[in-house]
Amino acid sequence: MDDAFATEHTRRMIAGDAASNALGMRVVSAEPGRAVVRMRVRPDMLNGFAVAHGGMVFALADTAFALACNETDAVTLAAGADIAFLSPAREGDELEAVAERRARGGRSGLYDVRVSAGDGRVVAEMRGRSRTTRGVLPAK
């Protein structure tokens, strides 16, 4: 991640995220309450109908959500999320997930994530609920 707004916490978090890295996700920006992450749809991400598997689209949205909601050094995790798939993504599509904070109070937060294709189509909308734990990311 090469983002001037990213915190050391989010830099360490994404560096240790084997799943996001294996899927080829690239962090465009990460700042408290907002993040942008991109991923190209590969052949091994397709379902039996030759469209992006919903789990792959969800994983992209979830990664952007995670970066946006980890606003402090405390570990913040998903407490729940709902996703609506609005149009199919196909092999070669460059997907972009933009996560934005809607509300935050105490240890709870609410975030919306829009996943779009390079041609402007909205592929999915996700709403995530976060919960900040009492733990911190272990030092490396």
**Domain around 30:** 8-136
Flag whether 122 is in a domain: yes
Tell me the pLDDT tens digit for each residue of 72-128.
Answer: 888 899 999 999 999 999 999 999 999 999 999 999 999 999 999 999 999 999 999
How crowded is residue 111: how many other Cβ atoms within 10 Å of its Cβ? Answer: 26
Flag whether 2 is in a domain: no
> Which of these, 76, 33, 42, lies nearest to 60 by C-alpha position?
42
Flag whether 37 is in a domain: yes
Tell me the whole-structure pTM to 2 decimals.
0.92
CA distance linking residue 50 with residue 12, whole number of Å: 34
Contact 64, 99 (CB under 8 A): yes
Flag whether 60 is in a domain: yes
Domain count across the chain: 1
CATH code (residue 116): 3.10.129.10
How crowded is residue 67: how many other Cβ atoms within 10 Å of its Cβ? Answer: 31
CA distance linking residue 86 with residue 73, whole number of Å: 34
Flag whether 110 is in a domain: yes
